Structure 1
Amino acid sequence: MNKITKTLGLSLLLITSTTVYSQGAPKNNYKPDGYSIVTIETPKDVRFHATGLDSTPTGDVYVATRFGDVWKLNGDNWTKFAEGLHEPTGLLVDDDGSIIVAQKPEFTRLIDTNNDGQADEYLMLAGDWDFHDNYHEFTFGPVKDKQGNYYGTLNLSHGDPNAFSLGAMGSSGGYRGFAFKVNKDGEFSPYAWGLRSPAGIGSSPTGELFYTDNQGDWVPTSTFHFLQEGKFYGHPVSLAQRPDYTKESITNTAVEVFDEMREKPVAHIPHLEVANSPGNPAWDISKGQFGPFSGQIFIGDQTQSNIFRVLLDKVNGVYQGAVINFMNGFQSGNIRAEFDIKGQLWIGQTARGWGAKGGKPFGLQKVVWDGTNPFELYSINLTQTGFKLTFTDKIDAKSVTLDSFTAQDWNYKYSGNYGSPKMNLAPITPSKVSLSKDQRTVTIDMPLVADKVVQVDFTGLKDVNGRHTGVDKVYYTLNQLVK
């Protein structure tokens, strides 16, 4: 049997963020044409903080709640599948139909041996990390690669007097601030380090790993990362568990050294404008059932109660890319996202005491598409002279003028401070704009500098039916220029 601990009464602490440094805030309400939110009725009198979410090939949905239950939704019927877990924050339906839950002390495999709809066996899949009974020591995952290996991420602690800290967050050891791997034989190994509050991990359709991290100390604004084995992602305290470092050597290392060591984000996620507390990435593998965004990445945000997209670009063989808002107006904090077999995007929600724009403490909703083709930005790709922006519908050629576009760039200061303002914020003047023959792609020339976030606004653009886009600004993380 496993080492399950009954859910504790956890204090709902409000962690204050940095002063807001924001320009270009999103519209109060935005969504693409054809998309709507459906609210799912959850079990009555249950604090249904949906912190783990996955679906089956037959369309059933499993949800883990942070108060320790796992529920199954079949049609309109809810049944409790498991209980007594310790604040789970992730769930995976495995290939054999068993359920793997990420609870604070371990990954647990739940098995219904007699097919009565309830788990009979709670088996520890992995638990080689330490849990020090700190409220912020979450365990996220699991996700699975093509070879059958499982992965998860481990939060740093907050307010632990025994933790090694160089800012707001700390580690008392036991792989806090690490990503880890568990192979098919159940063998645990550290995979990457330097993570802060990596609340969302995802495996792409090709098996590549990505994760989101939340803004705070050593994370100037929330980030989207390509997760690679043996890499350092910026928060220094986890290095104390590496054999080539000591707490003393870490404390005496200059910020510039850590900056040179760390992996750059694939995309910075501007604070407040896009997200404060991003969750897991979900890939649209619906082959058009969810509209014209097939293959793209969707992420919910716990504070903003919205969903945004990540638009990947590969420059000189390395991932970088952009983020753009998709829709808002959800009822609570969006922390989990999952596409089901019908191409519906399910959203697991909790405010967890931090609060959320949606106002409600918890819930479950899904996004559905009615077949209307929206007019939105589909992709953005770096060129040698600027960007190519491709849209989901034909563009009115008369609106493709320099006056329809504005741009600005900035960078963030990497340090132990809690977040960063936009540094060196400056306008960029586009010099040339043109429209492709199929009227879907706009090419914009503008002067660009590496190691910047570039915001491109296309407020003046219209499609052939006179529609403006629901979201008219995109944020591209320009780690490097085209060589």
Structure 2
Amino acid sequence: MIRINFSKAGSSKIWLLALAGVLCGQHGSWGQRPFYLVPGVHPGYSIVSMRPSSMTTSGATAAPNTGGMAWLPDGRLFIASMSSNAAGGNDANRLGISNGYMFTGIPAASSNASVTVSQVSTGYQMPTGAVAVGDSIYVVDNQDGLTKLTPAGGGTYTKSVLYKGVLGYNSGLSGSGYRTWVGGLLYKSGFFYATVGMGLIPGGVSEFTTANIYRGKGCVWKVSQNGAVADSFACGIRNPVGLAWSPDSEMMYTDNQGSFEPASAMYHVRQGRFFGHPKTPFDNQLRTAPAIIFPYGSNPTGGTATNPTVARVATDMLTLKDGRFKNQMLVGVDHTTGLNRVFLEKIPVGTSGDFVYQGALFPFSQGFGVGTGNNSAAAIAGVLPDFRTNVHSLSYGPDGYVYLGGGNSPGTESQGSHGFVGGLQYGLVRLVPKDTTVFEMKAIRSKSSNQMEIEFTEPIVSAATSNFTVRQWGCLQGGSANDQSYGAGYQLPGVSTLNVSDVTLNSDKTRATLTISGLIQRPTVTTPNSVEDRTWGSTVQFNVTGIAAVSGHSMWGDGTGGGVAWYTLNKFGPGVDAGTSATALVPRNRDGSQGLSVRWKGDGLSVALPDPGAYVLRVLEASGRTLSSVNVNNQNEFVMSASTLGHGMRWIEVSNAAGQKWISSVARP
């Protein structure tokens, strides 16, 4: 069963400051891959330009071509800009020297007229991350690795190399092992975390000759604040793009499709994990499958109108702190010049309280691009003439608003450009929320081996099985030959259309529960590098048509009143939403209405009984199997031990001799 939740736009403050800068797929001609594009800027927001008109608009120094963003304690914004030289060739990871810029006045500005900017550093080669710790600024780039800017008085800074190692440029070996990219930078509790990919031969295939590979590439690195201690933290990365914190403050990174990476994907990072690219540290460990797979189209020759390309490259991520999509994530997109939205849930694993992330991907907003994409398909025009760019980085400002940075690499597909023809290398916008109700899919949840739940942002009139088309396919890292072929492993075991046999709505008609036959979770894995180990979770695509909101609002989606979403199914649910704990869950009946009053009390669960009398209290698994049963007489409250519940989602059922029943759900991670 899958539950889909719909929500309406609120007044949450999301400003996207854009600064120029799949599902699985075997990657043939891009001209065969229609992009999935929502029809413009999300209707819950408007865009206002914030880019100072004094900044360069042409040439290699067109700025800011955003590679990293960091906010200072006094509210200034630092941006590490990338070079706007054309991408491609043997030095595609070193396009030219670029600069760091300081923006003043952004949080209080109502337009770009009051924003000022100055250059404060230089010498970067494609920086991709920046953080501020106190008054110092740290940047990761392809040349010097992790560098530090120390205040030197008068608004100037002194630049020094904190830690280079394999993060920076190395050229002592033959082959293409030097041709690597860094992707993102985080800081927490005295340590920095930075990612670096594997060497890529021009054209995108990984360097696979052992003598040409720098050991330690393809990893998340953990570096002490003074740079004296560094260690490979988690490995198996191909070409990292973004690094961010999940709604639970867990580390996530995005990887770009290619060798051993059938599609762009989002991964959950923990120490010692291996993500699938061989010839890196930890490559003798079991793989960690993606939490989210980004659609590339669902057939080997390219996307179609019903199975389109959603994200060729998933870039940076940001967890929303408030508003209607609180605890969901925004993810930037290259090539399609937009934003996607991700809902994550945590599915319990074992009895230790551990979990796996999985969830749903929703196209969120376009209206940032212009011109013609490299796939020869026209991009949706940007609504502002000075903001026509890809989305590269996202950051919360000190004012509580979200700022978004982007950029565009000029050049052609054969040169390895991640841009689009006609795009600009700069831009700065604020996305301002409107007081507008928007009808759309909000979340999708796995409830069991044959049920999923779709949540909408508004109540719907009705739902029938004919309103939902469900497809499913798989991915295999390295393909059936288990080699470094570019994008190998698309659609294994293949695409199938699944039967939706039943749809039920909850009492407020915001959630539709679908009963679906044929859903497949990731197989049980015991042996590293086995077929089971290289198998990703299933991608489940939902096309929703003919669903009407009670309000009469049209669904935000494909422009025709329909919507589409993709769910990465690693493990059958139920689970709990990312960013929530068991104590935060609202008790629910099976139909979604509020049920028994239950709460965590010490080490146990308190159940408030309807009235004094004789009751039978049962604990049931999601399948309905009884785990325990107890008779309760003349009590207002009964407290059961947490060990009785175990881990995962449970139903608590109270019944009396008259046949009345009260049921609520609880979850213990």
**Normalized against structure 1, the TM-score is what?**
0.83
Matches within 5 A, 1:144-155: 144-145=187-188, 147-155=189-197
What's the % identity of the aligned pairs?
24
| Shift in CA distance, 379/53, structure 1 to aligned 2, threshold 3 Å | same
Contact map agreement 1:80 1:118 (CA 8 A) in 2:
no
Query: 1:363 is paired with a residue of what secondary structure?
Result: coil
Matches within 5 A, 1:413-452: 413-415=476-478, 416-419=484-487, 420-423=489-492, 424-447=494-517, 448-451=519-522, 452=538
Q: Which AA in structure 2 matches 1:440?
A: T
**Normalized against structure 2, the TM-score is what?**
0.61
Aligned pair partner of 1:200 in 220, 238, 242: 242
Q: CA deviation at 1:338?
A: 1.8
Supply the distance in 1 between the matched residues of 2:211 and 2:356 (Cα, whole angstroms). 31
Matches within 5 A, 1:58-457: 59-67=75-83, 68-75=98-105, 76-94=115-133, 96-104=134-142, 105-114=144-153, 116-119=154-157, 121-129=158-166, 131-132=169-170, 136-145=179-188, 147-159=189-201, 165-166=207-208, 172-186=213-227, 187-204=229-246, 206-239=248-281, 261-271=286-296, 273-285=309-321, 287-288=322-323, 292-316=324-348, 317-330=355-368, 331-340=388-397, 341-353=399-411, 354-357=417-420, 359-364=422-427, 365-384=429-448, 385-395=450-460, 397-398=461-462, 400-415=463-478, 416-419=484-487, 420-423=489-492, 424-447=494-517, 448-451=519-522, 452-457=538-543
Supply the distance in 2 between the matched residues of 1:379 and 1:148 (Cα, whole angstroms). 35
Supply the distance in 2 between the matched residues of 1:40 and 1:136 (Cα, whole angstroms). 35
Task: In structure 2, list runs of 5 or more residues that go unmatched.
Answer: 1-25, 84-97, 106-114, 297-307, 349-354, 369-387, 412-416, 479-483, 523-537, 558-562, 575-669
Give the total of aligned pairs.
439
| Shift in CA distance, 164/225, structure 1 to aligned 2, threshold 3 Å | closer
Supply the distance in 2 between the matched residues of 1:417 and 1:470 (Cα, whole angstroms). 38
Supply the distance in 2 between the matched residues of 1:211 and 1:38 (Cα, whole angstroms). 29
Q: Which residue of 1 aligns with 2:598?
A: none
Q: CA deviation at 1:59?
A: 4.4
Q: CA deviation at 1:468?
A: 2.9
Supply the distance in 2 between the matched residues of 1:22 and 1:404 (Cα, whole angstroms). 28
Query: 1:403 is paired with a residue of what secondary structure?
Result: helix
Q: Which residue of 1 aligns with 2:414?
A: none
Supply the distance in 2 between the matched residues of 1:383 and 1:284 (Cα, whole angstroms). 24
Give CA-to-partner distance per residue, 1:133-155, whole Å, 9 cap, x none: 5784222222023x232100002
Give CA-to-partner distance per residue, 1:382-429, whole Å, 9 cap, x none: 10132111222222x23x222211110001232122114334111112
Aligned pair partner of 2:553 in 461, 467, 482: 467
Query: 1:334 is paired with a residue of what secondary structure?
Result: coil
| Shift in CA distance, 275/112, structure 1 to aligned 2, threshold 3 Å | same
Task: In structure 1, list runs of 5 or more residues that go unmatched.
Answer: 1-15, 246-257
Q: CA deviation at 1:20?
A: 5.5
Give CA-to-partner distance per residue, 1:47-85, whole Å, 9 cap, x none: 112111233465432211113211122221111121222
Q: Which moved more, 1:101-110 or 1:358-367?
A: 358-367
Q: CA deviation at 1:379?
A: 1.4
Q: Which AA in structure 1 matches 2:549?
A: D
Q: Which AA in structure 2 matches 1:431?
A: S
Structure exhibiting the larger radius of gyration computed from Cα positions: 2
Supply the distance in 1 between the matched residues of 2:391 and 2:218 (Cα, whole angstroms). 23
Q: Which AA in structure 1 matches 2:152?
A: T
Supply the distance in 2 between the matched residues of 1:207 and 1:171 (Cα, whole angstroms). 36
Query: 2:495 is paired with a residue of what secondary structure?
Result: strand
Supply the distance in 1 between the matched residues of 2:101 and 2:339 (Cα, whole angstroms). 24
Q: CA deviation at 1:224?
A: 0.5
Contact map agreement 1:274 1:324 (CA 8 A) in 2:
no
| Shift in CA distance, 333/267, structure 1 to aligned 2, threshold 3 Å | same
Query: 1:226 is paired with a residue of what secondary structure?
Result: strand
Q: Which moved more, 1:184-193 or 1:217-226?
A: 184-193
Which protein has greater RCO, CA pairs closer than 8 Å, 6+ apart? Answer: 2
Supply the distance in 2 between the matched residues of 1:102 and 1:82 (Cα, whole angstroms). 13
Contact map agreement 2:441 2:456 (CA 8 A) in 1:
yes
